[in-house]
Amino acid sequence: MKGYNFAYLDEQTKRMIRRALLKAVAIPGHQVPFGSREMPLPYGWGTGGIQVTAAVLGEADVLKVIDQGADDTTNAVSIRRFFGRTAGVATTTHTTEATVIQTRHRIPEVALREDQIIVYQVPQPEPLSKLEPSRAETRRMHGLAEYGAMHVKLYEDITRFGHVAISYDYPVMVNGRYLMAPSPIPAFDNPKMHMMPALQLFGAGREQRIYAVPPWTAVRSLDFEDHPFRTTRAPHACGLCGAADSYLDEVVTDDRGGRLFVCSDTDFCEGRRAAGHLGSEAGAETGTDMAAE
């Protein structure tokens, strides 16, 4: 910790971010501008999430960082070590032990609790960005709750593909008022945001926006009455732990078409294996075996 203020950012900056966070919590789903700082990692790697985490982190907190559900990927490891060094807080890979979880592209499979905070890394906070290029106009659309254009996008998907073909960053209505981009989590995770007991914070560093969903807030995925929102997952069980209800990653294992479907949430998968659940590929291709090959 020597040479750094607690959690890297100076106190004035943290205060500024907390003010933005308070506004964001007060107006669920509304994007609040904030003075995003340069962070010692590239844009797109979680500069927004890392600033929000720095602003909410306390000395007693236990931090978990995941990237696409995994605790052991570059982004997750480097941000976890960053806060281990600059804040000296305890870190963990276990979802249930963490008080603050910073995430990129997934929500953990285990249901979160009231005493936890989940921080999302957001590349593009504006859900209407692809439909309306002008930010002045999208702000007006949010202000007047004119979200018909978003349904035009869904209409086009059903017309072309027979179903809504948005597989990640599926737009949601928060508290029946604001249209929100849930960050690029799979649509599979959208239902977990609805009435979540944990506080959900979203940080977009490059776009300089913070937004939030307070605990126990309604989050509804957009749909049509005759084409209701549906989640999709690969029609397999996890090869390692046998889970049939978790979100799966497809891993190419050789150059002869071999494939392995495994839980994208590594902590969830390890927990199940430790409890004795085994998938069809377990033993043959566990993480250690793959490393040894």
Partner 1 sequence: MADETLLSARGLSLSFGAIPALVGVDADLWPGEVLAVVGESGSGKTTLLNVLSGRMAPHSGVTWYRDPEGVLHDVHAMPMPALRALHRSDWGFVHQNPRDSLRMGVTAGGNVGERLMAQGMRHYGRIRAEAIDWLRQVEIDADRVDHLPRTFSGGMLQRLQIARTLVTHPRLVFMDEPTGGLDVSVQARLLDLIRGLVARLDIAVVLVTHDLAVARLLAHRIMVMQRGVVVETGLTDQVLDDPQHPYTQLLVSSVLQA
Looking at the DSSP bridge assignments, the partners of residue 252 are: 259
Token pair recorded at residue 11: 């106190």
Tokens of 142: 């949010």
Residue 151 CB, shortest distance to partner 1, in Å, is 4
Q: If you write DSSP's letter for every residue of 172-216 in order, what string do you get?
A: EEETTTEEE---S-BGGGHHHHTT-SSEEEEEETTTTEEEEE-TT
Shortest CB 127 distance to partner 1, Å: 15
* Residue 271 annotated to the active site: no
Q: Which of 203, 205, 239, 241 is catalytic?
A: 241
Whose Cβ is closer to partner 1: residue 15's or residue 130's? 130
Is residue 241 flagged as an active site residue?
Answer: yes
From candidates 16, 158, 218, 251, binder to partner 1 by CB under 8 A: 158
Kindly state the smallest distance separating residue 230's Cβ from partner 1, in Å.
Answer: 14
At its nearest, how many Å lie between partner 1 and the CB of residue 10?
Answer: 41
Q: CB of 141 within 8 A of CB of 149?
A: yes
Residue from 26, 110, 152, 244 in contact with partner 1 (CB under 8 A): 152
Piece in contact with partner 1 (CB under 8 A), picked from 57-65, 120-128, 155-163, 248-256: 155-163
Site for partner 1 in 187-246 (CB under 8 A): 223-227
Whole-number minimum distance, CB 282 to partner 1, in Å? 43
Q: Residue 256 is encoded by which pair of tokens?
A: 């002869």
CB nearer to partner 1: give 120 or 170: 170
Question: Which residues within the stretch 118-147 sit at the binding site for partner 1 (CB under 8 A)?
Answer: 144, 146
Residues forming beta bridges with residue 198, ordered by sequence position = none
Which C-beta is closer to partner 1: that of 168 or that of 229? Answer: 229
CA distance 257 to 27: 49
Q: CA–CA separation, 174 vs 180, rounded Å?
A: 7
Backbone angles phi, psi at 234, to 5 degrees: -60, 135
Q: Which is nearer to partner 1, 147 or 168 (CB)?
A: 147
Nearer Cβ to partner 1 (158/218): 158
CA 268 from centroid of its chain's CA atoms: 16
**Cα four-point dihedral sign 138, 50, 182, 186:** positive
For the question of residue 29 being annotated catalytic, the response is: yes
CB 35 within 8 A of CB 26: no
| Alpha carbon of residue 55 to chain centroid | 18
- In this chain, which stretch among 64-72, 79-87, 148-156, 247-255 interacts with partner 1, using CB under 8 A? 148-156
23: helix, strand or coil: helix
Q: Is 279 annotated as catalytic?
A: no
Question: Is residue 263 annotated as part of the catalytic site, yes or no?
Answer: yes
Binding residues for partner 1, per CB under 8 A?
Answer: 144, 146, 148-149, 151-152, 155-156, 158-160, 223-227
